[in-house]
């Protein structure tokens, strides 16, 4: 009976030892993915800020607050359509960055369609990939890092310039009790397109004919959970200018459109941290807790199987090496 039990334990030991690497290197890359229907919203603020008032003689003013609402909405119908030809799990995010002045009225809004691999976050190039209605071809990441992010630089897509450039790893930090990776990206002054929706009744094409140009620079900062690859906080030191402004009859050649230090609102930081903490547990189960637990359990079952086998051999009259024990020497008869 003990020998049979030891064989069963040995079979379970082999099973759990084999499951350990399978969970980490086979199951995890296939099971961990972004759901296609995900919806997320974040509110960021610059307090105070410099803002161009289009409706008051194009005057530059210092305002108490500029609000930026960023939404990401999964487009399930489009992801299923692209998956049929891409042959892999695809996520389509319809994103919108809506900038509002202190009165709540629109300053600008820029929609995006971001298409990427649900597992690796690598961009998937398909019809519809765009920024503000203009077709683009992304390289690198945007909005989110891959699962199990690494301590290295990544290519990060900038929606204003429609180009990708390195975002640099600057070290490990503690944020709201979490160990996170801190990244920075600086975009130098670059000429960028006019937003298609503005608070004045003039099109970008009409503004371009006057010789007016829009320029932009920013320092972008992210605090990223390395397990899920999700940013738990983001900030930008952002500045936009209109150049050749005298062509519109303004007194100065260069006019500030917007300048400020944009930070995520504290309540949205708290909700983002709580969401990421709940998601990282699922990733850790597949990458750490279960693989290590199965390996330890397999080793324990293997040791127990050996111990039972040794006991069964002793009860059968065999030594630890499996050879029969020598027969006992009879005691001499009394004289």
Residue 139 included in any domain = yes
Residue 27 included in any domain = no
Q: Is 296 helix (H, G, I), strand (E, B) or coil?
A: helix
The larger pLDDT score, comparing residue 314 to residue 60, is at: 60
For range 221-249, the mean pLDDT: 92
Residue 312 included in any domain = no
Residue 271 included in any domain = no
Query: What is the full DSSP assignment across 245-279?
Result: GGGGT-SSSEEEEEEEEEEE-HHHHHHHHHHHHHH
Q: How many whole angstroms separate alpha carbon 157 and alpha carbon 116?
A: 12
Q: How many whole angstroms separate alpha carbon 109 and alpha carbon 105?
A: 11
Q: How many whole angstroms separate alpha carbon 53 and alpha carbon 63?
A: 10
Q: How many whole angstroms separate alpha carbon 241 and alpha carbon 191?
A: 9
Q: What is the pLDDT of residue 318?
A: 52
Q: What is the pLDDT of residue 160?
A: 95
Q: What is the pLDDT of residue 331?
A: 54
Q: Is 71 left (phi over 0), alpha (psi -120 to 50) or beta?
A: beta
Q: What is the pLDDT of residue 294?
A: 86
Contact 68, 108 (CB under 8 A): no
For range 71-91, the mean pLDDT: 94
Residue 13 included in any domain = no
Q: How many whole angstroms separate alpha carbon 181 and alpha carbon 146?
A: 13
For range 194-208, the mean pLDDT: 76
**Cα–Cα distances in Å, from 300 out to 43, 202, 214, 297, 310?**
51, 74, 67, 5, 15
Q: How many domains does the chain have?
A: 1
Q: Report whether pLDDT(199) > 70.
A: yes
Residue 78 φ then ψ, to 5° = -70, -40
| Domain of residue 198, residue span | 32-264
Residue 4 included in any domain = no
324: confidence class by pLDDT, cuts 50, 70, 90: low
Name the strand (E) or helix (H) holding 91: strand 90-100
51: confidence class by pLDDT, cuts 50, 70, 90: very high
Q: How many whole angstroms separate alpha carbon 243 and alpha carbon 91?
A: 38
Mean model confidence pLDDT for the chain: 88
Neighbours of 248 (CB within 10 A): 14
Q: What is the pTM of this model?
A: 0.86
Residue 75 included in any domain = yes
For range 166-188, the mean pLDDT: 97
Residue 308 included in any domain = no
């Amino acid at each position: 009976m003990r020998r049979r039990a030891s064989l069963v334990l040995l079979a379970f030991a082999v099973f759990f030892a084999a499951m350990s690497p399978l969970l980490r290197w086979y199951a995890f890359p296939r099971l961990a993915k972004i759901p296609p229907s995900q919806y997320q919203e974040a509110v960021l603020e610059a307090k105070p800020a410099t803002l161009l008032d289009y409706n008051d003689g194009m005057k530059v003013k210092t305002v108490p607050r500029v609000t930026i609402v960023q939404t990401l909405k999964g487009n399930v119908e489009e992801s299923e359509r692209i998956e049929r030809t891409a042959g892999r799990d695809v996520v389509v995010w319809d994103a919108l960055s809506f900038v509002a002045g202190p009165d709540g009225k629109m300053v600008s809004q820029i929609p995006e369609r971001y298409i990427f691999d649900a597992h690796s976050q690598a961009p998937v190039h398909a019809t519809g990939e765009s920024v503000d209605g203009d077709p683009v071809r992304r390289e690198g990441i945007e909005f989110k890092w891959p699962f199990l992010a690494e301590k290295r630089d990544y290519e990060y897509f900038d929606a204003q310039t429609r180009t990708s450039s390195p975002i640099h790893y600057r070290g490990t930090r503690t944020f709201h009790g979490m160990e996170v990776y801190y990244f920075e990206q600086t975009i130098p002054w670059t000429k960028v397109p006019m937003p298609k929706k503005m608070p004045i009744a003039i099109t970008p094409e009409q503004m371009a004919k006057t010789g007016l140009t829009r320029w932009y620079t920013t320092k972008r900062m992210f605090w990223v959970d390395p397990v899920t690859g999700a940013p738990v906080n983001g900030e930008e030191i952002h500045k936009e200018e209109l150049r050749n402004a005298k062509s519109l009859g303004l007194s100065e050649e260069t006019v500030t459109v917007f300048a400020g230090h944009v930070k995520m609102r504290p309540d949205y930081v708290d909700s983002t941290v709580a969401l990421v903490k709940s998601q990282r547990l699922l990733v850790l189960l597949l990458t750490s807790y279960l693989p290590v637990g199965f390996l330890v359990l397999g080793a324990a079952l293997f040791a127990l199987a050996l111990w039972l086998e040794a006991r069964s051999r002793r009860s059968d009259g065999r030594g630890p090496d499996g050879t029969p024990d020598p027969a006992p020497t009879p005691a001499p008869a009394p004289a």
